[in-house]
């Protein structure tokens, strides 16, 4: 039984979903999707937003149907053994998503600020910060997510600096790429939306759970509009050939920002971004910790410490852009199929099981 004091108001779901959808991907998603869809990439952003609106609906319908988190749903539908295997898959996914977000941020710091930074030292310090936050519990993480949206929100103003150099005729002609190319760009865009799966774990901690859908959907709309604004400005500012050479296109916007009191604004932006990505990592680690502690009946703090050791080891093993990119691609493909194939199948099975239960009772 969950104590009501441990639950959060449904409107805070807006910050949890928005925060986890807008993370490190904001800094460089443009190059990935423009490779496939060119100047039509903005269409892929809209389609990805619509796709994940459906995914959110599927998730919340599933959760409202069972009134428990994903771990309990697996056990109820598939039994202890098969359900346990499925739970381990999702726990591993959350853990490695947290690692993917963290390692990508370290790469940004290395590329733009401190090329000779000691990854081990940085990782240990960052791991201590993650441990402190996660051990504080879900309400602490929710508070960090709230601050992670509010504090860096001033960065949206930086989008106005490149506008004077932007030619929106680059968006024309509309739809000059094939359906296959746009579909591929939509799939590649999915990595930026993948964090919403943590909803499957913290759903029981939400008060008035039926109200969560509107706040989650609103967050998804804001996320989609933010990505849409960035991709439109990027297409107008860069040429297709140029953007294929920029791994971090959004960061390149910051390099042209000129204010009287700051010479290199991208340093300010990257430093602020730590507040932006910390909640994402903590939320993934918390979900993986929560699942493993229930599944294996182990104290959450011990699980968190083990995960942070894994985070440090994996971060050290990913030494260059190719290795990091390969790791991100695996996570992207895995997440895409878990969201768009597995969740709908699980929802259909749940409807069938519920219908059988009703028929059996009658």
Tens-level pLDDT at each residue, the chain (362 residues):
566 677 899 999 999 999 888 877 788 888 888 888 888 889 999 999 999 999 999 999 999 998 889 999 999 999 899 999 999 999 999 999 999 999 988 888 888 888 888 889 989 999 999 999 999 989 999 999 999 888 888 888 888 878 888 888 888 888 888 889 998 988 888 877 888 889 999 999 998 888 899 999 999 999 999 999 999 888 888 877 777 777 788 877 777 776 676 667 777 877 888 888 899 999 999 999 999 998 998 999 999 999 999 999 999 999 888 898 889 888 888 888 999 899 999 999 999 888 887 777 66
List all residues 6 or more positions away from 117 whose beta carbon is below 8 Å from its beta carbon: 106, 109, 110
Query: 8: which strand partners?
Result: 206
**Alpha-carbon dihedral sign for residues 28, 33, 35, 37:** negative
Q: Which pLDDT value is given to residue 1?
A: 58
Measured between alpha carbons, how far is 13 from 9 in angstroms, rounded to an integer? 8
Query: 68: which strand partners?
Result: none
List all residues 6 or more positions away from 288 whose beta carbon is below 8 Å from its beta carbon: 91, 92, 94, 95, 98, 303, 307
Instruction: Evaluate whether 41 touches 231 at the Cβ level (below 8 Å).
Output: yes
Measured between alpha carbons, how far is 304 from 289 in angstroms, rounded to an integer? 6
Place of tokens 């790791």: 327
Q: What Å distances lie between residue 131 and 26, 124, 136, 225, CA to CA?
A: 25, 10, 8, 33
Q: Which pLDDT value is given to residue 291?
A: 92
307-323 burial, b for 16+ CB within 10 Å, e for fewer? bbeebbebbeebeeeee
Q: Which pLDDT value is given to residue 361?
A: 66
Q: Which pLDDT value is given to residue 358?
A: 72
Measured between alpha carbons, how far is 214 from 223 in angstroms, rounded to an integer? 14
Measured between alpha carbons, how far is 139 from 316 in angstroms, rounded to an integer? 31
Q: Which pLDDT value is given to residue 108?
A: 85
Measured between alpha carbons, how far is 66 from 354 in angstroms, rounded to an integer? 9
Measured between alpha carbons, how far is 284 from 95 in angstroms, rounded to an integer? 6
Measured between alpha carbons, how far is 71 from 353 in angstroms, rounded to an integer? 17
Instruction: Evaluate whether 198 touches 284 at the Cβ level (below 8 Å).
Output: yes
Q: Which pLDDT value is given to residue 93?
A: 94
CA-angle at 284, arms to 213 and 266, nearest 5°: 100
Measured between alpha carbons, how far is 199 from 16 in angstroms, rounded to an integer? 8
Instruction: Evaluate whether 141 touches 283 at the Cβ level (below 8 Å).
Output: yes
Domain 8-329 in this protein, CATH class: mainly alpha
Extract the tokens encoding 44.
Answer: 């892929």
Measured between alpha carbons, how far is 42 from 236 in angstroms, rounded to an integer? 11
The residue among 277, 276, 280 whose CA lies nearest residue 155 is: 276
Measured between alpha carbons, how far is 299 from 312 in angstroms, rounded to an integer? 21
Q: Which pLDDT value is given to residue 55?
A: 93
Q: Which pLDDT value is given to residue 362?
A: 60
* Domain range summary for the chain, segments of one domain joined by +: 8-329
Q: Running DSSP on this structure, what letter comes out for residue 136?
A: T
Which own/partner contact pairs does 353-359 have at CB distance under 8 Å and 24+ positions apart?
A: 353/77, 354/65
């Amino acid at each position: 039984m969950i104590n009501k004091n441990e639950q959060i108001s449904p409107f805070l779901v807006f910050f949890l979903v928005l925060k986890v959808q807008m993370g490190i991907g904001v800094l460089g998603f443009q190059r990935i999707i423009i490779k496939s869809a060119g100047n039509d990439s903005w269409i892929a952003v809209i389609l990805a937003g619509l796709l994940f609106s459906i995914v959110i609906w599927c998730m919340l319908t599933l959760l409202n149907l069972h009134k428990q988190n994903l771990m309990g749903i697996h056990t109820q539908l598939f039994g202890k053994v098969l359900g346990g295997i499925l739970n381990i898959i999702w726990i591993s996914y959350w853990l490695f998503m947290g690692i993917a977000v963290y390692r990508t941020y370290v790469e940004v710091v290395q590329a733009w600020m401190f090329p000779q930074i000691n990854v081990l030292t940085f990782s240990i310090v960052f791991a201590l910060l993650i441990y402190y936050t996660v051990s504080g519990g879900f309400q602490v993480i929710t508070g960090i997510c709230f601050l992670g949206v509010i504090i860096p929100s001033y960065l949206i103003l930086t989008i106005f600096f490149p506008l004077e150099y932007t030619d929106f005729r680059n968006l024309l002609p509309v739809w000059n790429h094939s359906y296959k190319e746009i579909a591929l760009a939509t799939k590649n865009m999915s990595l930026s939306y993948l964090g919403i799966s943590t909803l499957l774990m913290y759903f029981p901690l939400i008060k008035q759970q039926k109200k969560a859908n509107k706040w989650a959907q609103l967050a998804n709309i804001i996320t989609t509009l933010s990505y849409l604004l960035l991709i439109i400005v990027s297409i107008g500012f860069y040429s297709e050939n140029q953007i294929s050479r920029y791994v971090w296109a959004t960061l390149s916007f910051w390099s042209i920002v000129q204010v009287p009191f700051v010479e290199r604004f991208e340093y300010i932006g990257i430093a602020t971004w730590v507040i932006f990505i910390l909640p994402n990592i903590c939320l993934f680690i918390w979900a993986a910790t929560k699942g493993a502690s229930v599944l294996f009946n182990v104290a959450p703090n011990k699980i968190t410490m083990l995960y942070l050791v894994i985070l440090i080891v994996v971060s050290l093993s990913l030494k260059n852009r190719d290795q990091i990119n390969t790791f991100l691609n695996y996570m992207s493909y895995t997440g895409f199929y878990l969201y768009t194939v597995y969740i709908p199948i699980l929802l259909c099975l749940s409807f069938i099981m519920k219908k059988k239960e009703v028929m059996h009772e009658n």
